[in-house]
Amino acid sequence: MKQFRTLVLAAALSTGMAGCSVFDWMVYKIDIPQGNFIEQVQVEKLRIGMTREQVEFVLGRPVLRDSFASNKWYYVYQFKNGRTNELTRRELVVRFEDDVVAEVEGDYNLSDEFMTPLDAGRP
Protein backbone atom coordinates (compact mmCIF):
# COMPACT_ATOMS: atom_id res chain seq x y z
CA MET A 1 0.00 0.00 0.00
CA LYS A 2 2.83 2.38 0.85
CA GLN A 3 4.49 1.68 -2.52
CA PHE A 4 1.21 2.37 -4.30
CA ARG A 5 0.87 5.74 -2.53
CA THR A 6 4.47 6.65 -3.44
CA LEU A 7 3.85 5.66 -7.05
CA VAL A 8 0.64 7.72 -7.24
CA LEU A 9 2.38 10.70 -5.61
CA ALA A 10 5.30 10.46 -8.06
CA ALA A 11 2.91 10.25 -11.02
CA ALA A 12 0.89 13.22 -9.77
CA LEU A 13 4.03 15.26 -9.15
CA SER A 14 5.50 14.55 -12.60
CA THR A 15 2.15 15.33 -14.25
CA GLY A 16 1.97 18.59 -12.32
CA MET A 17 5.51 19.55 -13.26
CA ALA A 18 4.79 18.90 -16.93
CA GLY A 19 2.17 21.63 -16.75
CA CYS A 20 4.67 24.26 -15.61
CA SER A 21 4.85 25.62 -19.14
CA VAL A 22 1.42 27.11 -18.43
CA PHE A 23 3.20 29.59 -16.17
CA ASP A 24 5.58 30.75 -18.91
CA TRP A 25 4.29 34.32 -18.57
CA MET A 26 5.70 34.43 -15.05
CA VAL A 27 9.25 33.74 -16.21
CA TYR A 28 11.40 36.83 -16.75
CA LYS A 29 13.04 36.95 -20.17
CA ILE A 30 15.67 39.57 -20.83
CA ASP A 31 15.57 42.11 -23.63
CA ILE A 32 18.32 41.59 -26.20
CA PRO A 33 19.80 44.74 -27.78
CA GLN A 34 22.43 44.22 -30.49
CA GLY A 35 24.45 46.59 -32.65
CA ASN A 36 24.74 50.37 -32.71
CA PHE A 37 21.93 52.23 -30.96
CA ILE A 38 21.67 55.47 -32.91
CA GLU A 39 19.33 58.30 -31.99
CA GLN A 40 17.73 60.63 -34.50
CA VAL A 41 19.69 63.54 -32.99
CA GLN A 42 22.96 61.88 -33.99
CA VAL A 43 21.81 61.33 -37.58
CA GLU A 44 20.75 64.97 -37.82
CA LYS A 45 24.37 65.98 -37.14
CA LEU A 46 25.56 64.29 -40.34
CA ARG A 47 26.49 66.53 -43.27
CA ILE A 48 27.59 65.82 -46.79
CA GLY A 49 31.35 66.13 -47.10
CA MET A 50 32.14 64.93 -43.56
CA THR A 51 35.28 62.80 -43.23
CA ARG A 52 35.28 59.22 -41.99
CA GLU A 53 36.73 60.38 -38.67
CA GLN A 54 33.93 62.92 -38.21
CA VAL A 55 31.26 60.31 -38.95
CA GLU A 56 32.86 57.91 -36.49
CA PHE A 57 32.92 60.66 -33.86
CA VAL A 58 29.20 61.37 -34.34
CA LEU A 59 27.86 57.81 -34.79
CA GLY A 60 30.56 55.57 -33.35
CA ARG A 61 32.21 52.65 -35.11
CA PRO A 62 30.07 50.89 -37.68
CA VAL A 63 28.86 47.35 -37.12
CA LEU A 64 30.04 46.39 -40.59
CA ARG A 65 32.52 47.80 -43.05
CA ASP A 66 31.95 46.20 -46.43
CA SER A 67 34.96 44.06 -47.37
CA PHE A 68 34.31 44.35 -51.09
CA ALA A 69 33.29 48.00 -51.18
CA SER A 70 35.25 49.88 -48.54
CA ASN A 71 33.26 53.00 -49.25
CA LYS A 72 30.19 51.79 -47.30
CA TRP A 73 29.63 51.68 -43.56
CA TYR A 74 26.64 49.87 -42.06
CA TYR A 75 25.10 50.81 -38.73
CA VAL A 76 22.57 48.17 -37.67
CA TYR A 77 20.57 48.00 -34.45
CA GLN A 78 18.30 45.16 -33.46
CA PHE A 79 16.21 44.90 -30.30
CA LYS A 80 14.31 41.78 -29.27
CA ASN A 81 11.76 42.28 -26.51
CA GLY A 82 12.06 39.40 -24.06
CA ARG A 83 8.42 39.41 -23.04
CA THR A 84 6.72 39.76 -26.45
CA ASN A 85 9.50 38.50 -28.76
CA GLU A 86 8.84 41.62 -30.86
CA LEU A 87 11.84 42.41 -33.05
CA THR A 88 12.78 46.01 -33.89
CA ARG A 89 15.48 46.59 -36.51
CA ARG A 90 16.95 49.90 -37.68
CA GLU A 91 19.64 50.41 -40.31
CA LEU A 92 21.76 53.28 -41.54
CA VAL A 93 24.16 53.04 -44.48
CA VAL A 94 26.79 55.74 -45.01
CA ARG A 95 28.47 55.83 -48.43
CA PHE A 96 31.75 57.66 -48.97
CA GLU A 97 33.37 59.04 -52.12
CA ASP A 98 36.99 60.19 -51.86
CA ASP A 99 36.83 59.56 -48.09
CA VAL A 100 33.97 62.02 -47.49
CA VAL A 101 30.24 61.40 -47.03
CA ALA A 102 28.41 61.25 -50.34
CA GLU A 103 25.12 59.61 -49.33
CA VAL A 104 23.26 58.41 -46.25
CA GLU A 105 20.24 56.14 -46.39
CA GLY A 106 18.25 53.99 -44.01
CA ASP A 107 15.52 54.09 -41.41
CA TYR A 108 16.33 57.57 -40.10
CA ASN A 109 15.38 61.04 -41.34
CA LEU A 110 18.20 63.32 -42.43
CA SER A 111 18.22 66.94 -41.34
CA ASP A 112 17.32 69.73 -43.76
CA GLU A 113 20.95 70.91 -43.53
CA PHE A 114 22.38 67.55 -44.65
CA MET A 115 23.27 68.88 -48.11
CA THR A 116 25.10 71.87 -46.56
CA PRO A 117 28.76 71.00 -45.87
CA LEU A 118 30.11 71.88 -42.43
CA ASP A 119 32.58 74.42 -43.79
CA ALA A 120 30.06 76.15 -46.12
CA GLY A 121 29.74 79.23 -43.90
CA ARG A 122 33.50 79.70 -43.37
CA PRO A 123 35.67 81.94 -45.54
| Helix, strand and coil percent figures for the chain, each rounded to 5 | 30, 30, 40
Please report whether residue 27 resides in a domain.
no
Number of domains in the chain: 1
Please report whether residue 8 resides in a domain.
Answer: no
Task: Answer yes or no: is 1 within a domain.
Answer: no
Report if residue 43 sits inside a domain.
yes
Rounded to whole angstroms, how far apart are CA atoms 78 and 89?
Answer: 4
Task: Calculate the average pLDDT of the chain.
Answer: 86
Residue 123 has pLDDT above 60, yes or no: no
Structure confidence at residue 73 (pLDDT): 93
Contact call for residues 42 and 56 (beta carbons, < 8 A): no
Give the domain range for residue 68. 32-118
Q: Are 48 and 118 in contact (CB under 8 A)?
A: no
Model confidence at 32, pLDDT cuts 50, 70, 90, reads very high
Examine residue 104 and state whether it is found in any structural domain, yes or no: yes
pLDDT value of residue 6: 83
What are the beta bridge partners of residue 58?
none
pLDDT, one tens digit per residue, over 74-113 is: 999 999 999 889 999 999 999 999 999 999 999 999 998 8
Whether 55 is covered by a domain: the verdict is: yes
Q: What is the pLDDT of residues 34-53, one digit of tens each?
A: 998 999 999 999 999 999 99
Per-residue pLDDT at 2? 78
* CA atoms of 30 and 101, how far apart (whole Å): 37
CATH of the domain at 82: 3.30.1450.10
In a domain, 19, yes or no: no
